[in-house]
DNA sequence: GATACTGTAATTCTATTTCATACAGTTAAT
DNA sequence: ATTAACTGTATGAAATAGAATTACAGTATC
C-alpha cells in the first residue's frame, strides 16, 4: 500500500503546528523524510480539496486553509481515492465453470468495500487536530519520564 | 498489500463448497488462479490453526476441518498476521528536533492499529459460510437475469 | 520402488512505490 | 528586466514488495 495518506496527514498536522506560517515543499519534505516532488504532488491534491493554499514564486509554499478541528482523517483518506483495503491481486477467474472461482472476485470486492466503510467510520472520529493533540501528549509523557528519572537520581544520592 | 488473506478465504470457501472432498494444491491453485507452491504455503498456515487437515502422499491434499459457520473472516485475517492497514513506508524521523516529525510515526501507528480493530470487528460479522452464501446468491441472480432475457425474447417474438 | 502428493527453501520475474532529475511557469526583490 | 526561490508536472531510475518458478526432501499409496 502506498503512503500518500500518511504523508498528507503528516503535512497537514505540520502546517497546523506552524500556524500562519508558510512552509516550502522542501521544508515539509525534510520533516516528512521524503523528497519535495512527492510533497508537491500530494499538496496539489490537498489544494484541490481546499485544505491548503499554495503560493508560487519567491517566499511561496503551502499554508493551512482549514480548521484542524473540522477536517477528519476520513476526508483526507477519501481525497486520495480510498480503496486501500482491497489488494491489487485478486483470486478466481470469471470464465471458470466453478461457481466459487467465477464469483469470488465480486464477492470479495463486496466485503472489502463494506469493510472500508467501517474503516472510514473510524477515521471520521479523528481529525488533524486530534492527531496533533496526540503528538503533544508524547512530549508531555517524555517530560514526565525525564522528571521521574531525575527524581530517582536525586533519591539515589 | 499482499493477498494471502484473499487466497486463504477463497481456499476455505472452495473446500466448504466441496465437502468431504480432498483437493490437491494444484486443484486449488487452478481455482484460485495461482501456483501450487503459494497454495501449499497458505494451507500450511491454515493447518497450523486447525482450519484444514492435510494428507501427504498419493491421493493426498487438503480437506476442511472446521464448520464454515463458525469460522469468521476475522480469525482467518488474524491467522495471517494482520497489520495490513499500516503502510510499509512511514513518515517522520525520531531524531528530529521537531515534535511532529519525531512523534508522527508512533501516533500514526496508534491510529492504524485502532482502525484495524474496526476493520476486524467487521470481519467478525462474516464467516466462510456467509461468503459461500453470497457466491450462491450470484448464481441465483444470474439465473433470474437469464430467465428475464429469455422472457424478453419470447415477448419479442 | 514408482507415483502422487505435501513441505519448504531459494531464485527469478513482475508490479508497485519511492526517489531523482529536469524544466516550464510564477512571484518577489534588486 | 534579470535573477532567485518557489510551485506544477512529466519522465525515468532505483528500491521494495509481491507472485511465480524451480528444485528437492519427506511421506503415503499402489
Instruction: Give per-residue pLDDT as tens, A57-77.
Output: 999 999 999 999 999 999 999
Q: What does the alpha-carbon distance between residue B86 and residue A115 come to, in Å, rounded to a whole number?
A: 15
User: What's the pLDDT at A51?
Assistant: 98
Nearest CA in chain A to B141: A103
Q: With an 8 Å Cβ cutoff, are B107 and A138 in contact?
A: yes
Task: Write out chain A residues lying below 8 Å of B122, CB-based.
Answer: 114-115, 118
pLDDT of residue B150: 67
Q: Which of residues 115-134 of B touch A (CB under 8 A)?
A: 115, 118-119, 121-123, 126, 131-132, 134
- For residue A63, what are the β-bridge partners? A53
Phi first, then psi: give them for residue A39, nearest 5 degrees.
-60, -45
Is residue A7 over pLDDT 90?
A: yes
Give dist(CA B95, CA B101) in Å, integer: 8
Residues in chain B, pLDDT under 50: none
Using a CB-CB cut-off of 8 Å, the residues of chain A touching B102 are 138
The percent of residues above 90 in pLDDT, for chain A, comes to 84
pLDDT of residue A152: 63
How high is the pLDDT of residue A19?
84
A100 and B73 in contact by Cβ < 8 A? Answer: no
Other beta carbons within 10 angstroms of residue B143's beta carbon come to: 10
List beta partners, residue A54: A62
pLDDT for position A142: 76
Per CB-CB distance under 8 Å, the chain B contacts of A126 are 111
pLDDT at position B139 is: 77
- Rounded to an integer, what is the distance from CA B102 to the centroid of its chain? 36
Task: Determine contact: B140 vs chain A, CB below 8 A.
Answer: no
Nucleotides of D under 7 A from a protein CB: 4-11, 16-23, 26-30
Strands (E) across chain B are located at: 52-55, 61-64
pLDDT of residue B151: 67
pLDDT tens for residues A97-114?
999 999 999 999 999 999
CA angle A43, B109, A137 (to 5 degrees): 90
Interface of B with A in 20-79 (CB under 8 A): 31-34, 73
| CB-closest option in A1, A108, A131 to B87 | A1
Cα dihedral A85, A91, A92, A94 sign: positive
What's the pLDDT score for residue A144?
Answer: 73
B157 touches chain A (CB under 8 A): no
Contact B122 A106 (CB under 8 A): no
* Chain B residues closer than 8 Å to A134 by CB: 107, 110
Nearest-angstrom CA–CA distance, B66 and A89? 27
pLDDT for B87-127, tens place per residue? 999 999 999 999 999 999 999 999 999 999 999 999 999 99
**pLDDT at residue number A150:** 66
Question: Looking at residue A141, what is its pLDDT?
Answer: 77
Rounded distance between C-alpha atoms, residue B56 and residue B47, angstroms? 13
Amino acid at each position: 500500500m502506498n503512503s500518500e495518506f500518511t504523508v498528507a496527514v503528516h503535512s497537514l498536522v505540520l502546517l497546523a503546528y506552524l500556524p500562519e506560517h508558510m512552509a516550502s515543499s522542501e521544508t515539509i519534505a525534510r520533516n516528512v523524510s521524503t523528497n519535495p516532488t512527492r510533497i508537491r504532488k500530494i499538496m496539489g491534491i490537498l489544494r484541490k480539496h481546499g485544505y491548503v493554499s499554495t503560493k508560487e514564486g519567491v517566499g511561496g509554499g503551502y499554508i493551512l486553509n482549514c480548521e484542524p478541528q473540522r477536517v477528519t482523517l476520513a476526508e483526507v483518506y477519501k481525497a486520495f481515492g480510498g480503496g486501500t483495503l482491497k489488494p491489487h491481486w485478486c483470486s478466481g477467474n470469471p470464465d471458470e465453470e466453478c461457481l466459487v472461482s467465477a464469483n469470488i472476485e465480486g464477492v470479495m470486492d463486496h466485503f472489502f468495500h463494506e469493510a472500508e466503510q467501517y474503516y472510514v467510520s473510524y477515521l471520521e472520529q479523528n481529525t488533524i487536530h486530534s492527531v496533533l493533540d496526540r503528538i503533544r501528549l508524547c512530549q508531555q509523557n517524555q517530560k514526565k519520564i525525564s522528571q521521574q528519572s531525575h527524581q530517582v537520581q536525586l533519591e539515589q544520592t
